[in-house]
Amino acid sequence: MPYESVVNGRIVKTFIIIYLIIALVQKRNKARGGINFKYEILLLAILPLISAFSSYYYRGQPILIGLMVARDSLFWLLYFYLHKYGYSKNDIIKVITIIATISAFIFIFQQVLYPYVYLFNSLQHYDDVEIRQGLYRFRLFPLVPYIYFAFYYYLWKLLKTKRLNQLAWVALFTIAIYLTLTRQIYFCIFIPALFYQFFKKNKVSRKMLYSLITGFVLLYIVYQNLDFIIGSDFVEITKEQGNEDNIRVLSYAFFGLEYWVDEINMIFGNGAASWGNSAYGNEILDIEETKGLYRSDIGIVGLFSMYGVAYIIAVICLYRKFFKCYKSVPVYIRLLVIASIMNLPLACWMENGFFMSMVFYLIDRCCYFEKDLIVAKVSNELIKHNNK
């Protein structure tokens, strides 16, 4: 049962997008909370659709096909849907952790059941299940950000409550992370966690500096003992992947610097390609197969190649605005956003609008809650002053 037909299927995507659009054009409810990322998220939803016209003009891909390939960007509309109906923080956290839990069990059960039961794998890899360290490496990358969130959330709860049941949840998500068998996922999720105390505080303290030093020492020890900790096979694979890293550099250079027609092309990008349905799609497929250069391997640069510099500016503005509300959000969200930034060079979460829209909605709710506390505090002080 292939992943694309179940989780990421075209019919499912289309119906969800249609529902979001219908829900948004209906009469708006009065929901609490400010919409802090309105313009940035609108750009992230719309610019990939505009790039469909760019792919038609510069690459000859039919506009309708370009729009269909870029339709996933409309999942960012979920952000406005959540604001319209004013869902609580707990509602969103429950949804994300449920998806993360299901995803974690998919990673574990599929590892045990394959090849007798083939549950999910990502598009174009149905028959290409790689083996690493004696384990199957399933490419379920659209599910991984949910596991990131749940890992950080339950780590936060564990350190806050010191309860054993929270440790069980952290262990579950740690196992799922390990089963991704992907270096960049390991480092992008665990490095922020090592510096938990640093991201927990709003000001740098001596304790935070000690945490940073300890974290770097631990990283060095882990690096020196990788063959013992995660197996010599993985170390050999890591060395082999040095060649893959060289290919990434070539991909950065080709798609970031060479694959352009003119300056306007760079502003709106080349558009997303539809393999097998257009000359542009076949050209990208040929580049992948003959040169080994993949836009999907170069994160934010790959998105730059598809959607242009306007899209990258929107991403930068989105993160810039997050740091303005940094003090108002809990540490697990801080860790998640830092991890997503660390992922940008190699794997960009911006294409996962469904997940990211929930994250930035949570940030909005946290900022609004913080403002509520300030208003309540000021009101109480005024009441006390008047009573005197």
CA distance readout (Å), 344 to 51, 92, 169, 297: 20, 24, 27, 11
State the pLDDT at residue 236: 52
Q: Specify whether the CB–CB gap between 271 and 65 falls below 8 A.
A: no
φ, ψ of residue 140 in degrees (nearest 5): -110, 40
137-154 tens-digit pLDDT: 777 778 889 999 999 999
Angle at 90 between CA 88 and CA 92, to 5 degrees: 75
State the pLDDT at residue 374: 43
On average, the pLDDT of the chain sits at: 79
φ, ψ of residue 32 in degrees (nearest 5): -80, 150
Distance CA 4, CA 121 (A): 8
Residue type, 56: Y
Average pLDDT over residues 297-316: 93
379 has a pLDDT exceeding 50? no
Q: Specify whether the CB–CB gap between 301 and 338 falls below 8 A.
A: no
Average pLDDT over residues 86-99: 93
Tokens matching residue 377: 């505090």
State the pLDDT at residue 3: 42
Distance CA 228, CA 235 (A): 10
46-69 tens-digit pLDDT: 999 999 999 999 999 999 999 999
State the pLDDT at residue 199: 77
| DSSP three-state, residue 26 | coil
Comparing 222-231, 245-254, 305-314, which segment has the lowest mean pLDDT?
Answer: 222-231
User: Which contiguous run of DSSP H or E holds residue 42?
Assistant: helix 38-59
CA-based max dimension of the chain: 81
The pTM of this model reads 0.81
